[in-house]
Amino acid sequence: MKAQSFAELVENNRSRRRFYQDAIVETETLWELVGLARLAPSARNLQPLKYILSNTAEKNASIFDCLSWALDLKGWGGPAEGERPSAYIVILGDTEIAKTIGCDHGIVAQTIMLGAVDKGFGGCIMASVKKDRLRDLLTIPDRYEILLVLALGNPKEEVIIETICDDGDIKYWRDSLGLHHVPKRALDDIIVG
Ligand SMILES: Cc1cc2nc3c(=O)[nH]c(=O)nc-3n(C[C@H](O)[C@H](O)[C@H](O)COP(=O)(O)O)c2cc1C
């Protein structure tokens, strides 16, 4: 695998939602990714985040059941069997360490995703999660707040970044070849001073 510059890594770190489901993400890899998260900054250095790892068919199926995929792709209910993530990392907030979590989980999520892309994987940060159901299925104790789920695997999907058109539409879309297009605001529009 060709080494990527940091800019290439960021660019290649797109949200991917279809995978080669048979491509295993080893438990060791998931530990290495949480090892990166462990080094991320944390408000007051409280480090309240905890993690659940999944790379088995049964646990993956439970987690998959609790996710909502690409709400803007109307009529697409998420990846079909065979194209689903082969692993997940569930990010939890330990309320015995911090009652409210600022943005630690966002920083950690991006750190893990960049690490995954660096290792040749990819995935999607997911916040649309049926949390009560996930808590039941994985028997997550009440002390842990469910914050995000990271879907991971060997991506099958190509993503094209575009600049937003004059109509200002930010909705991502998929073309007839199955390529996923993501409009991004122009630099001129986001640097306001
Ligand atoms: C905090 C957060 C929550 C997200 N939740 C979901 C989700 O529940 N389901 C989903 O399909 N995508 C989710 N996404 C992915 C976004 O839709 C995606 O980042 C956006 O379309 C831009 O695509 P890009 O990541 O390739 O730039 C989430 C992204 C972030 C940062």
The residue whose CB lies within 8 Å of the most ligand 1 atoms, and thus the one to mutate among 74, 125, 163, is 125
**Which tokens belong to 145?**
């707040």
Strand order in the sheet with 173-174: 159-163, 180-184, 173-174
Point out which residues pair with 182 in neighbouring strands: 161
Cα gap 11→97, rounded to integer Å: 34
20 CB within 6 A, ligand 1: no
Q: Tell how far the Cα of 156 is from the centroid of ligand 1, in angstroms.
A: 17
**According to the model, what pLDDT value does residue 3 have?**
83
Q: From CA 66, how far away is CA 77, in angstroms rounded?
A: 12
- Tell me the per-residue pLDDT of 59-69, one tens digit each, with 9 for 90 and over: 999 999 999 99
User: What pLDDT shows up at residue 168?
Assistant: 86
Give, for ligand 1, the residue of 10, 13, 14, 15 to mutate: max count of ligand atoms closer than 8 Å to Cβ. 15
Find, among 23, 179, 25, the residue nearest to 112 by Cα.
25
Q: Is the CB of 138 under 6 A from ligand 1?
A: no
CA 184 to centroid of ligand 1, rounded, Å: 13
Which regions in the chain score pLDDT beneath 50?
none
Task: Note the pLDDT of residue 127.
Answer: 98
The pLDDT of residue 137 is: 98
Q: Which residue shows structure tokens 């998420």?
A: 78
What was the pLDDT predicted at 119? 97
Asked if residues 17 and 78 have their Cβ atoms less than 8 Å apart, the reply is: yes
Contact between 17 and 124 under an 8 Å Cβ cutoff? The reply is: yes
* CA 72 – ligand 1 centroid, Å: 11
Q: For residue 44, give the DSSP letter.
A: G
Cβ of residue 126 lying under 6 Å from some atom of ligand 1: yes
